[in-house]
Structure 1
Amino acid sequence: SIPFLIGLSKGNAFGIFFDNHFETYFDMGRDNSEYYYFAAADGNLDYYFIYGPSVKKVVEGYTIITGNMPLPALWTLGYQQCRWSYDNETRLMEIANSLREKGIPCDTLYLDIDYMDGYRVFTWNKERFENPEAMIKTLNNMGFKVVTIIDPGVKVDKGYKIYDEGLENGYFATDNQGIVYRNEVWPGDSVYPDFLSPKVRKWWGENQKIMIDAGVSGIWNDMNEPASFNGPLPDDVMFNNDGILVTHKEVHNIYGHMMAKGTYEGLKKATGKRPFIVTRACYAGTQKYSTAWTGDNQSTWEHLRMSIPMLMNLGLSGMAFCGTDVGGFGHDC
Structure 2
Amino acid sequence: MKDSILRLKSRLIRTLKLENLLFKFLPNGIYVFNLHRIGDRHSCQFDRNIFSCGVDQFEQFLLLLKASFDVVDVATLSQILDEQQPINKRLAVITFDDGYKDCIDKAAPLLVKYQLPAAFFITTDFVGSERIPWWDEMAFLLRQSTGRVFKSLSTGQDINLQPNTIEKQIAQVIFTSKRDNNHTLVQILDDMREQFPQARAQLAQQSNSLFMNWQDIHQLKDMGMDIGSHAKTHNILARMSTEQQLHELTLSKQVLEQQLNQPIKYLAYPVGRYHCFDQHTLDNAKVAGYSLAFNNEKGKNRFISERYSINRYCFDEGDLSTLKLNCIVW
Where on the TM-score scale, by shorter chain, does this alignment land: which range? Answer: 0.3 to 0.5
TM score, norm. by length of structure 2: 0.36
- The structure, 1 or 2, with the larger RCO (C-alpha pairs under 8 Å, 6+ apart) is 2
The structure that is helix-richer by fraction is: 2
The structure that is strand-richer by fraction is: 1
TM score, norm. by length of structure 1: 0.36
